[in-house]
Amino acid sequence: MNKPVTGLENAKIISEDKAHVWHHLSQHKPLESSDPMVIVEGKGLRVTDINGRQYLDAVSGGVWTVNVGYGRESIADAVRDQLAKMCYFANSAGSIPGALFAEKLIDKMPGLSRVYYSNSGSEANEKGYKLVRQLAAMKNNGEKHKILYRDRDYHGTTITALSSTGQLQRKDQYGPFTPGFVEVPHCLAYHSPNGDDPDFGVKSAREIEKVILREGPDTVGSIVLEPITAGGGVIPPPEGYFDTVQEICKQYGVLLHIDEVVCGMGRTGKWFGYQHYGVRPDIVTMAKGVASGYAAISVTATTEDLFSEFLAEPSDKMHYFRDISTFGGCAGGPAAALENMRIIENENLLDNVVRMGDYLMDRLRELKDKHAMIGDVRGKGLFVGAELVKDRQTREPVDESVAASVAAHCLQQGVMIGRTNRSFVEYNNTLCLSPALICTKDDIDEIVAAIDNGLAAQAG
């Protein structure tokens, strides 16, 4: 392992950072009198900051990305070898890792057959939206162009991806938005007056049908859904939800676009989150865990049926997907993704996710028995949230400062956890955990102990 940089050099890096770097999701005013965290190395689940302090990272790079853990030299080697041989060519041409990764990926996704490369989750979703818009234009004068999205889901940072996002605080001040995106209600049982109804899942899905009927089925081209809502509060779908969504999509000719940017590549114990629920999507997007952050890569995967709609005689000059992503041609992305997938398979990480996910859930339920502030624990595999409330009866959320304080206490103890942040006005109250797929019981015990102490500190 490299030694953390020290002494004078540290001071220089911090001062250059403070002088010039504009950090993501950050208010910089406090940094006038404090220093930013600078992460300099990582191994397994642990990262080290510039001052040599080590942390257990329970959120895989802060935003559920580093699925196979830090310090994987075999991925670094695969990327290095590929870059030295052939770094880049626009993806209008093929590449060796691009072809090989597409074949391996499609093997894991029965029903899908085509892989379109780009370089971020937002961009992968935009490709999905563009496919729907162009299909509408080619088939019925653009009429079936509307795209439904769900309250509490997030689909990315660009203006159009935000237009399809159901988190008001994320969107606030960034409008006006792209027209043609229509919201449907969320399916979080915990905050629904009908959440205890055994038919809640089916009824929530029927709310989508109402929106389709209100808008006019001839105007609705697709619906985009996270299989398990991530930043919106870790919300697994209730029983019966996806069966009904699928039925509704079929009935009204609405394409089903599943956003696997977070859940994809094993996070929930299957290759893809939708595979828990028998969903047959038309479009699947993925990014973060595809190469675990070792290289930037995202994918928009589609069915052969959808792909074939874009086949035509070359004389029909506009009838093909006229889209490009410059960095979708970086060959290091699929090279890293191939090795990332090999690791997940060779180390049986999906099995580990199921076992450790169950253990994490059990340990959090124990914490719930101990701390009245935990109102709900939910998730799938190594993707779990604990919602904090003032009162279990009313389920009134704690103020976001409480969730922030618990996370800060964890950090002081050397454990990084996540939380819903600046997503909703009221519901910035869910602690989020997504440790790397390699995590052990000891890691989980350490994470849970830190949260236990963090919650105890709120009572004091």
Binding site for ligand PLP (CB under 6 A): 63, 120-122, 125, 154-157, 226, 230-231, 259, 261-262, 287
Query: Measuring CA to CA, which residue among 62, 33, 119 is closest to residue 291?
Result: 119
Task: Measure the CA–CA gap between 199 and 217, rounded to whole angstroms.
Answer: 24
Smallest distance, ligand PLP to C-beta of residue 15, A: 28
Cα–Cα distance measured from residue 23 to residue 38, given in angstroms and rounded to the nearest whole number: 11
Nearer to ligand PLP by Cβ, of 4 and 121: the residue is 121
Q: Write the CB contacts of 458 (distance below 8 Å, at least 6 apart in sequence).
A: 373, 402, 405, 406
Beta carbon nearer to ligand PLP, 55 or 64: 64
φ and ψ of 187, to 5 deg: -130, 35
CB of 443 to ligand PLP, least distance (A): 23
Q: Give whichever of 283 and 287 is closer to ligand PLP, judged by the CB atom.
A: 287
Q: Which residue is nearest to ligand PLP (CB)?
A: 121
Comparison of 230 and 455: residue with beta carbon closer to ligand PLP: 230
Provide the minimum distance between the beta carbon of 165 and ligand PLP in the complex, in angstroms, as a whole number: 9
| Shortest separation between residue 371's beta carbon and ligand PLP, angstroms | 27
| C-beta closer to ligand PLP: residue 172 or 358 | 172
Least separation in angstroms between CB 225 and ligand PLP: 10
Nearer to ligand PLP by C-beta: 48 or 163?
163
Q: Which residue number, 4 or 266, has a Cβ lying nearer to ligand PLP?
A: 266
In the complex, the smallest distance separating the C-beta of residue 52 from ligand PLP, rounded to whole angstroms, is 30
Q: What is the 3-state secondary structure (H, E, C) of the chain?
A: CCCCCCHHHHHHHHHHHHHHCCCCCCCCHHHHCCCCCCEEEEEECEEEECCCCEEEECCHHHHHCCCCCECCHHHHHHHHHHHHHCCECCCCCCCHHHHHHHHHHHHCCCCCCEEEEECCHHHHHHHHHHHHHHHHHHHHCCCCCEEEEECCCCCCCCHHHHHCCCCHHHHCCCCCCCCCEEEECCCCHHHCCCCCCCCHHHHHHHHHHHHHHHHCHHHEEEEEECCCECCCCCECCCCCHHHHHHHHHHHHCCEEEEECCCCCCCCCCCCCHHHHCCCCCCEEEECHHHCCCCCCCEEEEECHHHHHCCCCCCCCCCCCCCCCCHHHHECHHHHHHHHHHHHHHHCCHHHHHHHHHHHHHHHHHHHHHHCCCEEEEEECCCCEEEEEEEECCCCEECCHHHHHHHHHHHHHCCEECEECCCCCCCCCCEEEECCCCCCCHHHHHHHHHHHHHHHHHHHC
Cα→Cα distances 425→24, 152, 405, 421, 428, Å? 20, 12, 18, 10, 7
For the CB of residue 64, give the shortest distance to ligand PLP in the complex, in Å: 7
Nearer to ligand PLP, 225 or 398 (CB): 225
| Six-digit token string for 72 | 């994987």
Shortest gap between Cβ of 226 and ligand PLP (angstroms)? Answer: 5
Which of 136/230 has CB closer to ligand PLP? 230
CB of residue 458 to ligand PLP, shortest distance in Å: 27
> Among residues 82 and 122, whose Cβ is nearest to ligand PLP?
122
Task: Decide whether 201 or 264 has the Cβ nearer to ligand PLP.
Answer: 264
